[in-house]
Amino acid sequence: MTEGPNEAVEQFRTTWLPRLNNGAATLLIHVEGEGDIAPHAVIADNFVGEFGYKRIGFNWELLDATPDAHGPRSAEHQLVEALSKDIANPSKQWLPEESARACSKEFLALFDPEDRTVVSNRYDGLWNPISKAPNEWAFVGFDRQLSVLLLITED
């Protein structure tokens, strides 16, 4: 039997959160079985809003989360950018790029590759905050079985 969404998220949490919380404050919230079919901004807003974060409407940046995605708008590229650079000072490294890429791949693997959607509140250096942190980068990933918020904020 394959691993369920909760087990996969807990494995990601165990493997990555200790490293991600070294140099930043990183939060991972997940809900299994959402299954909503709605525009990406509505799903992301409803999900973050349930946990007290600000809804930003159509300011969620839809990323290309297809398995063969490449380029600056790909979910993997944006995740690697977020994880490899210090949130407070992007000219400094946070995780080594190899580790950031591995973490990104594991985050994306939480979702069905044929059904996953990933949005971000940040693109090209600009962001629409959902928290009260001075600097943040939020990703909401979801498919019909799972919704996950990965929120990286200044330590």
Query: pTM (2 decimals)?
Result: 0.92
The list of the chain residues with pLDDT below 50 reads 1
pLDDT of residue 34: 56
- How many other C-beta atoms can be found within 10 angstroms of the C-beta atom of residue 24? 23
pLDDT of residue 112: 92
DSSP annotation of 64: B
Write the CB contacts of 3 (distance below 8 Å, at least 6 apart in sequence): 11
- For residues 131 and 14, the answer to whether their CB atoms sit within 8 Å is no
Which pLDDT belongs to residue 124?
74
Q: Name the residue among 98, 82, 101 with its Cα closest to residue 90.
A: 82
Query: To the nearest 5 percent, what fractions of the chain are helix, strand and coil?
Result: 35, 25, 40
Q: Residue ranges of the domains in the chain? A: 5-153
What is the pLDDT, as a whole number, of residue 1?
37
Strand order in the sheet with 25-32: 25-32, 146-153, 136-142, 117-120, 61-63
pLDDT recorded at residue 72: 86
H or E, element range at 132: none
